């Protein structure tokens, strides 16, 4: 026979669970929140992550502690974040490499980018630039591509490697434009820049934030930004889509959480990050770091749809250039 005490206790369980869930969301955060960044301290991604984290933490009484876990093409950091307890106290600073391209370039990825994380809010695009050595006799990207077809193998293009964003972008441009150039991989972007400025490479494809300072000094000439249309904060720079109609690829940053993180916390983070990114001084600072805002990607549903489009795009590009995961 079931006692009245047992009935009373069993009926209280749903109410208790609901109360705990509400408290978990309402009182959070009660201790510092960790943000895993899969890039090295001082990198352009790390700089943006720290800035966004500092602004977000101003709305709380708890700090956000950055934990840099670089290496392995973002695998080390992404895997650490994916395996963290989904309690709202570990977040992941998602990037194109960790969340999209790795799935198509690495055969045995030890985490599932689609299943192991939930999006919170898109932060900004991190467009790349195609820049030329001052010694290259080409006025624009169209002319440089034409030169590569007229003189096969004569152009040397510096990238960060075949399976990196810059390398894949370079391969995609070559495939679409039927360009015939030599891709030269560099392990350090600084060396790729130096060789291009010195004329040992003709073109370089790297993040805009890395290239822009050398454009301003005249040591490099910008030919295109890697988006399909011109950026609002750099309207004078031609977009890649102007030379290759409809085509564009840009890196991006997104705040994410391990799958299973309470929806109430994810929703609250989304609302608070939206408020932070809407501040004019925040938008201006991100633009100064070479980032491009995306106010249209505000809701969690918007971010989910964006990730699906990105995966479809990368699947198509990888197939087109014949890149095999290793």
CATH topology of domain 31-126+250-321: D-Maltodextrin-Binding Protein; domain 2 (3.40.190)
> 246, 227 in Cβ contact below 8 A?
no
47 vs 225: CA distance, rounded Å = 21
pLDDT of residue 326: 83
pLDDT on residue 219? 97
202 Cβ contact list (under 8 Å, min separation 6): 132, 133, 135, 136, 144, 155, 156, 157, 181, 196
Q: What angle do CA 316, 99, 309 make, to 5 degrees?
A: 40
User: According to the model, what pLDDT value does residue 24 have?
Assistant: 53
Structure tokens at 217: 């000094």
Q: How far apart are CA 207 and CA 166, in angstroms?
A: 8
pLDDT value, residue 12: 45
Instruction: Give me the pLDDT at residue 26, please.
Output: 72
Distance in angstroms (rounded) separating the CA atoms of residues 306 and 206: 23
User: For the chain, what is the total number of helices (H) and then of strands (E)?
Assistant: 13, 10
Asked if 31-126+250-321 and 128-243 have one fold, the answer is yes
- In the prediction, which pLDDT does 64 show? 98
User: What pLDDT, on the 0 to 100 scale, is given for residue 163?
Assistant: 86
Reported as a single tens digit per residue, the pLDDT across 188-246 is: 899 999 999 999 999 999 999 889 999 999 999 999 999 999 998 889 999 999 999 99
Instruction: Note the pLDDT of residue 25.
Output: 58
Domain ranges of the chain: 31-126+250-321, 128-243
> Which residues in the chain land under pLDDT 70?
1-25
Contact of 39 with 68, CB cutoff 8 Å:
yes
pTM of the model: 0.84
Cα separation values, 23 from 31, 62, 90, 211, Å? 14, 17, 18, 47
In this structure, which CATH number among 3.40.50.1220, 3.50.30.40, 2.60.40.420, 3.40.190.10 belongs to the domain 128-243? 3.40.190.10
DSSP H or E run through 168: helix 165-177
Contact predicate 32/65, CB 8 Å:
yes
Q: What is the pLDDT of residue 232?
A: 85
């Amino acid at each position: 026979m079931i006692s009245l005490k047992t009935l009373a206790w069993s009926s209280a369980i749903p109410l208790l669970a609901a109360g705990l869930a509400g408290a978990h969301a309402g009182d959070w955060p009660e201790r510092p929140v960790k943000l895993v960044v899969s890039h090295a301290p001082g990198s352009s991604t790390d700089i943006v992550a720290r800035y966004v984290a500092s602004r977000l933490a101003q709305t709380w009484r708890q700090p956000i502690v950055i934990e840099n876990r670089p290496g392995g093409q973002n695998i080390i950091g992404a895997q650490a974040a994916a395996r963290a307890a989904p309690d709202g106290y570990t977040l992941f600073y998602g990037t194109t490499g960790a969340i999209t391209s790795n799935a198509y370039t690495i055969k045995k990825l030890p985490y599932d980018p689609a299943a192991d994380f939930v999006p919170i809010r898109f932060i900004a695009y991190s467009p790349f630039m195609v820049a030329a050595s001052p010694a290259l006799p080409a006025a624009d990207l169209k002319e440089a591509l034409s030169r590569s077809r007229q003189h096969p193998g004569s152009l040397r293009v510096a990238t960060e490697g075949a399976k990196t964003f810059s390398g894949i972008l370079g391969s995609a441009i070559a495939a679409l434009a039927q360009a015939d150039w030599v891709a030269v991989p560099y392990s350090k972007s600084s060396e790729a820049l130096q060789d291009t400025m010195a004329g040992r490479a003709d073109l370089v494809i790297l993040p805009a934030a890395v290239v822009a300072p050398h454009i301003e000094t005249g040591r490099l000439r910008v030919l295109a930004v890697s988006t399909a249309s011109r950026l609002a904060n750099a309207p004078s720079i031609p977009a890649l889509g102007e030379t290759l109609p409809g085509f564009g690829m840009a890196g991006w940053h997104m705040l994410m959480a391990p799958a299973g993180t309470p929806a109430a916390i994810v929703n609250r983070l989304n609302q608070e990050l939206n408020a932070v990114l809407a501040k004019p001084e925040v938008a201006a600072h991100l633009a100064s770091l070479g980032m491009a805002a995306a106010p249209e990607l505000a809701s969690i549903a918007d971010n989910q749809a964006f990730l699906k489009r990105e995966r479809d795009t990368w699947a198509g590009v990888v197939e087109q250039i014949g890149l095999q995961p290793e």
